[in-house]
């Protein structure tokens, strides 16, 4: 039985030959996993940003999620991170084939993104930081050398970057300082309400990147998602800061370090968008809107815990 590829995932062929080759082989790979793991498709497949998720029934008739992902440097540690958490505050990993990027996961309920109150959902995500941030684990890669490579890219673009030079300089200075220290804790790396789902009466994280790093690295995705709520506030800079304060207060993070990481991550996002050209626009939908969103967040951070 060949599982059809969702159009949104198939469209990623435009990203180049590695994607096209992976997509060409994906139906055959899924068929093989279904056979080997005694699974039966139980609904239409879903497209993640870099993965196919197939609802399945296992040999006992229990609904599961078969996930097969395109392996990149920043998501190669999803499996060891989930193994470390062992279902505590994160989706339960039941079986894995790391070489082929395949995971069999428990089936969860709705995404937290459907929660009508953005302030409540922000705090729910921030409450997950503590239990997920266990001490650094040797089976996970260090985030900070990767950050230094991101900063090299940012620096190489120089004044061609469509962002205020002072924000770029701030990101480079703060980023080099923050990345000089070893990672102290296990990080999710991309935790926001689209990556939190319901399990009975609790919320759990999905789709971790999986690094050893600084816990203050985490908040930025919570600022660039749920953007419509911030825009509707009438004062977007203040709304961004209020959300930021809610995150750091709930999670007990160092305000200045978290602020600096937000500036670093937003300016790196702008650099990546320049390099990708028109290939995508992140959560904003268009490249221009995504660049504007990240600059707006970095500007809002200038009023946070000013030295």
Residue 215 CA to its chain's centroid (Å) = 14
Q: In Å, what is the CA distance from 29 to each residue of 1, 3, 227, 232, 288?
A: 11, 10, 37, 44, 37
Residue 55 sits at φ, ψ, to 5 deg, of -65, 130
Under 8 Å between Cβ of 189 and 150: no
CA-nearest of 81, 74, 23 to 52 is 23
CA-nearest of 224, 219, 249 to 236 is 224
CA-nearest of 228, 208, 46 to 125 is 208
CA–CA separation, 159 and 162 (whole Å): 8
**How does DSSP assign 242-263, residue by residue?**
HHHHHHHHHHT--HHHHHHHHH
276 part of the active site: no
- Residue 161's CB: how many other CB atoms inside 10 A? 20
Cα torsion 230, 235, 238, 242 to 10°: value is -40
Q: Give me the catalytic one of 190, 193, 207, 260.
A: 190
Q: Indicate which residues carry an active-site annotation.
A: 190
């Amino acid at each position: 039985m060949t599982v059809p590829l969702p159009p949104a995932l198939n469209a990623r062929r435009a990203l180049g030959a590695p994607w096209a080759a992976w997509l060409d082989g994906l139906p055959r790979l899924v068929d093989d996993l279904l056979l080997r793991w005694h699974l039966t498709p139980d609904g239409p497949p879903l497209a993640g940003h870099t993965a196919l998720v197939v609802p399945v029934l296992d040999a006992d008739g229990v609904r599961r999620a078969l996930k097969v992902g395109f392996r990149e440097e920043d998501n190669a540690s999803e499996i060891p991170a989930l193994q470390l958490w062992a279902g505590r505050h994160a989706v339960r990993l039941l079986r894995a084939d790391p070489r082929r990027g395949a995971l069999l996961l428990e089936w969860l309920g709705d995404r937290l993104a459907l929660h009508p109150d953005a302030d409540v959902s922000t705090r729910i995500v921030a409450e997950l930081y503590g239990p997920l941030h266990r001490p650094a684990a040797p089976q996970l890669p260090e985030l900070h050398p990767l950050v230094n490579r991101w900063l090299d890219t940012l620096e190489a673009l120089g004044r061609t970057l469509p962002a205020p030079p002072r924000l770029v300089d701030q990101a480079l200075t703060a980023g080099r300082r923050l990345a000089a220290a070893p990672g102290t804790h296990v990080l999710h790396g991309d935790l926001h309400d689209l990556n939190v789902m319901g399990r009975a009466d609790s919320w759990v994280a999905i789709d971790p990147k999986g690094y050893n790093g600084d816990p203050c690295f985490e908040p930025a995705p919570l600022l660039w998602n749920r953007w419509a709520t911030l825009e509707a506030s009438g004062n977007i800079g203040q709304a961004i800061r209020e959300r930021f304060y809610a995150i750091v207060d709930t999670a007990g993070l160092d305000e200045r370090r978290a602020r600096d990481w937000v500036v670093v991550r937003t300016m790196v996002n702008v650099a990546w968008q320049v390099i990708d050209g028109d290939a995508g626009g992140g959560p904003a939908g268009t490249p221009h809107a995504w660049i504007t969103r990240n600059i707006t967040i970095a500007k809002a951070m200038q009023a946070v815990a000013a030295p």
